[in-house]
Amino acid sequence: MSLAARLESHGAPGRVQVSDETARHLAGRFGLESRGEINLKGMGPTRAWWLHAQSAAEVKR
């Protein structure tokens, strides 16, 4: 299974969860809330983030 599928299995309704690498690419453009490390089957502890709305600076562009 892929990382995305593993993250999805630990998600929450109505929330978007992203990996640490994706969070680094989105930092400054979107609000991110650390979820901490979650234990993903076959992958071990993995840092995950909740994705929030675009930052105000990005919306004004």
Which of helix, strand or coil describes residue 18? strand
- Is the pTM higher than 0.85? The answer reads no
The helix/strand/coil state of 52 is strand
Q: Give a yes or no: residue 61 inside a domain.
A: no
Quick one: pLDDT band at residue 29, thresholds 50, 70, 90? very high
Measured torsion, CA atoms of residues 33, 35, 41, 44, in degrees rounded to the nearest 10: 100
16 lies in a domain? yes
pLDDT in tens, 5-25: 999 999 999 999 999 999 999
Lowest mean pLDDT among 25-29, 30-34, 40-44, 52-56: 52-56
* Structural domain that includes position 17: 3-54
Mean pLDDT, residues 26-52: 94
Q: How much of the chain, in percent, has pLDDT values that exceed 90?
A: 75
Do 18 and 30 meet the contact criterion of CB atoms below 8 Å apart?
no
- Which residues, in sequence order, are CB contacts of 10 under 8 Å at separation 6+? 17, 38, 40, 48
33 occurs within a structural domain? yes
| Domain total of the chain | 1
